[in-house]
Copies of this chain bind each other. A is one copy, B any other.
Amino acid sequence: MSIDLAILGVLRDADLHGYELRKRISELTGRAAAVSFGSLYPALARLERAEAVKAVEPAAVELRSIPLTGSLSGEASVFRSRRREPPGRSGRARKVYGITEHGRQLLADLLDDPADDERSFALKVAFCGELSPARRLELFERRRSVLAGLLAGARARRRRPDEHPDPYLRSLRDHDTAAIEHDIAWLDRLIADERAALQQPHPPATPAQEDHR
């Protein structure tokens, strides 16, 4: 359930109510993301029943926003949005959710799950700061091998030039092949960076996320 991944991943950084949560999820990437309320709210209810998230006192948002090290401006925007409201009342029974310890574990499990399609892989990358470098490397390499398989198929098809004389289909396939190659090149960069980070335990660019727990 890729929506759980999105919810838990975003909630990991800040306590949020559904409406705001949806905006954050939509902004994760340009193409993929975007969930509707019709799936978000039931999913939140389900995760609450499973005790992966729980409703928190809105007041707790301010309390939590100060001590956290990461995502400062994200917390600040929640703060801003609350500032406008009178102390006693807010919109319609706004329900702010926070991730639980069990939710964190579930997020870790979801990130570890080797099955990933286009969409869930993107989400996993967005949240993979959570993972150990070794797990991250596995994630990237698993995806790379899937794409390598697709690329092999795409190239094989293109090597039979007679079979599809339609120039538009040809152009589509050429573009598709190039897009896969582009994705693989990106993954190769991520993999190389990860390998480099494994060599020297304290790399300059990506140490920030590792300190919580």
Rounded to whole angstroms, the CA-CA distance of A190 and B165 in the bound complex is 17
Do B172 and A122 touch across chains, with their CB atoms under 8 A apart? yes
Do B29 and A176 touch across chains, with their CB atoms under 8 A apart? yes
Q: With A163-B74, A179-B179, A212-B181 known to touch, is A172 a contact of B125 (CB < 8 Å)?
A: yes
Q: Which B residues are CB-close (under 8 A) to A74?
A: 163-164
Listed by A's residue number, 30 A-B pairs whose Cβ atoms lie within 8 Å are A28-B169, A29-B172, A30-B150, A30-B153, A30-B157, A31-B118, A31-B180, A32-B176, A73-B162, A74-B164, A122-B172, A122-B176, A125-B168, A125-B169, A125-B171, A125-B172, A126-B166, A126-B168, A126-B169, A126-B172, A129-B168, A166-B209, A167-B205, A167-B206, A171-B209, A174-B211, A177-B210, A178-B182, A179-B179, A181-B212
Do A31 and B150 touch across chains, with their CB atoms under 8 A apart? yes
Q: Which B residues are CB-close (under 8 A) to A118?
A: 31
A→B interface (CB under 8 Å): 27-32, 70-71, 73-74, 118, 122, 125-129, 150-151, 153-154, 157, 162-183, 186, 190, 205-212
Rounded to whole angstroms, the CA-CA distance of A70 and B172 in the bound complex is 18
Distance of A124 from chain B, by nearest CB (Å): 9
Number of copies: 2
Q: Which B residues are CB-close (under 8 A) to A154?
A: 29-30
